[in-house]
């Protein structure tokens, strides 16, 4: 294996291995990198104040899901045996500001983190589908299996918005993770449809599908089948299946304009081993409250790690 240190404004790799990402571009840093066979690209980020901070190795990892679709993720490797899996929300990616900031906050505490794109999102293979909650929970299962097989301990799973529902669904179906963080998940999945698509949406989708358009054209398609999957998903029933030994933290902004804070209160009523934290003034994306969000999450995770 060959290692090279260099300074650059931007640098692009062209990898011939079809199992790896074809093009990777990195911003200005002093970067130590090593290319391994298989499906992992390792980066060692060296900071000018490296004597004060641990050296973080970042690895692009590709994990096939149950359908053979390649899920692309970025591992913030600190060398810890424990790892936290981060799940993005609707029409989002692993590059979402909240996902990145939480991963960086974790790595500063010496805790490894993995953020990835669900199938059909970001750099992962597959077609985007509206709804798809159960399939994304299965994607998460394959990601967790990958790290367990690598002798890592997945100490927590965290999801934002739709990702919050996915991690709760995971906990209700697979009972192998004992710490779950639900950031601004939706309790009642029957709500939010009219707000997003219009009051006549249910009438229009009777033809089988509706194309959601933006200024550039069709952004994505909502099929009647995918809509019914969402409407039939009962988060109340799912949360009742979360075992008592599974600790759940729900974080929600009091000024959330997408999912009302009342949804967090409903989760608090029914999840057995539950803690609720309301971030006063925060909107759905925690625009001005990223630091407070990270602090709340880190304090909770460090507390649970000490208990374990």
* pTM of structure: 0.81
- Given a cut of 70, whether residue 35 has pLDDT beyond it is no
Q: Is the pLDDT of residue 51 over 60?
A: no
For 36-48, write each residue's pLDDT tens digit: 333 555 554 444 3
Cβ pair 250, 185 in contact under 8 A: yes
Q: What percent of the chain has pLDDT over 90?
A: 64
Residue 267 pLDDT > 70: yes
In the block, which residue shows the tokens 């009438």?
Answer: 203
pLDDT in tens, 10-26: 333 333 343 333 334 34
pLDDT tens digit sequence for 218-247: 787 888 888 888 888 999 999 999 999 999
Flag whether pLDDT at 169 surpasses 80.
yes
Structure confidence at residue 29 (pLDDT): 38
Residue 39 has a pLDDT of 55
For 173-192, how does the pLDDT look when each residue is reduced to its tens digit (9 = 90+)?
A: 999 999 999 999 999 998 87
- Whether residue 214 has pLDDT greater than 70: yes
Cα–Cα distance measured from residue 86 to residue 161, given in angstroms and rounded to the nearest whole number: 12
pLDDT at 47: 40
For residue 3, the model assigns a pLDDT of 33
Q: Which domains does the chain have, with CATH numbers?
A: 59-187+235-306 (3.40.50.1820)
| Full 3-state SS string of the chain | CCCEEEEECCEEEECCCCCCCCEEEECCEEEEEEECCCCEEEEEEECCCCCCCCCEEEEEEEEECCCCCEEEEEEEECCCCEEEEEECCCCCCCCCHHHHHHHHHHHHCCCEEEEECCCCCCCCCCCCCCCCHHHHHHHHHHHHHHHHHCCCEEEEEEEECHHHHHHHHHHHHCCCCCEEEEECCCCCCCCCHHHHHCCCHHHHHHHCEEEEEECCEEEEEEEHHHHHHHHHCCHHHHHHCCCCCCEEEEEEECCCCCCCCHHHHHHHHHCCCEEEEEECCCCCCCCCCHHHHHHHHHHHHHHHHHHC
More confident residue, 280 or 215: 280
The string of pLDDT tens digits covering residues 104-152 is 999 999 999 999 999 999 999 998 888 889 999 999 999 999 999 999 9
What's residue 53's pLDDT?
54
pLDDT at 56: 64
The fraction of the chain above a pLDDT of 70, given in percent, is 82
pLDDT at site 84: 98
Tell me the per-residue pLDDT of 59-108, one tens digit each, with 9 for 90 and over.
999 999 999 999 999 999 999 999 999 999 999 999 999 999 999 999 99
Q: Give residue 258's pLDDT.
A: 95
Would you state the pLDDT for residue 37? 34
Distance CA 198, CA 139 (A): 30
């Amino acid at each position: 294996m060959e290692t090279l240190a260099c300074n650059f404004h931007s640098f692009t790799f062209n990898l011939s291995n079809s199992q790896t990402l074809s093009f990777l571009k990195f911003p200005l840093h002093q970067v130590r990198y090593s290319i391994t066979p298989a499906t992992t690209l390792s980066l060692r980020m060296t900071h000018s104040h490296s004597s004060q901070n641990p050296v973080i190795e970042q690895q692009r990892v590709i994990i096939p899901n149950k359908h053979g679709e390649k899920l692309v993720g970025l591992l913030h490797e600190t060398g810890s045996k424990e790892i936290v899996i981060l799940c993005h929300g609707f029409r989002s990616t692993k590059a979402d500001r909240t996902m990145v900031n939480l991963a960086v906050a974790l790595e500063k505490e010496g805790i490894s983190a993995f953020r990835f794109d669900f199938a059909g999102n970001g750099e992962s293979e597959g077609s985007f589908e509206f709804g798809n909650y159960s399939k994304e929970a299965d994607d998460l299962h394959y990601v967790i299996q990958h790290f367990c097989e690598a002798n890592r301990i997945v100490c927590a799973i965290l999801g934002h918005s739709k990702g919050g529902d996915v991690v709760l669904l995971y906990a209700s179906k697979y009972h192998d993770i004992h710490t779950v963080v639900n950031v601004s998940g939706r309790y009642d999945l029957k709500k939010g449809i009219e707000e997003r698509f219009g009051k006549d949406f249910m009438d229009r989708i009777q033809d089988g599908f509706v194309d959601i358009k933006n200024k550039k054209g069709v952004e994505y398609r909502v099929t009647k089948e995918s809509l019914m999957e969402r409407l039939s998903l009962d988060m109340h029933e799912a949360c009742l299946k979360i075992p008592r030994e599974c600790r759940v933290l729900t974080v929600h902004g009091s000024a959330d304009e997408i999912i009302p804070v009342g949804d967090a209160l409903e989760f608090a009523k029914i999840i057995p081993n539950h803690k609720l934290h309301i971030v006063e003034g925060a909107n759905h994306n925690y625009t001005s409250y990223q630091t407070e969000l990270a602090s709340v999450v880190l304090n909770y995770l460090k507390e649970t790690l000490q208990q374990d």
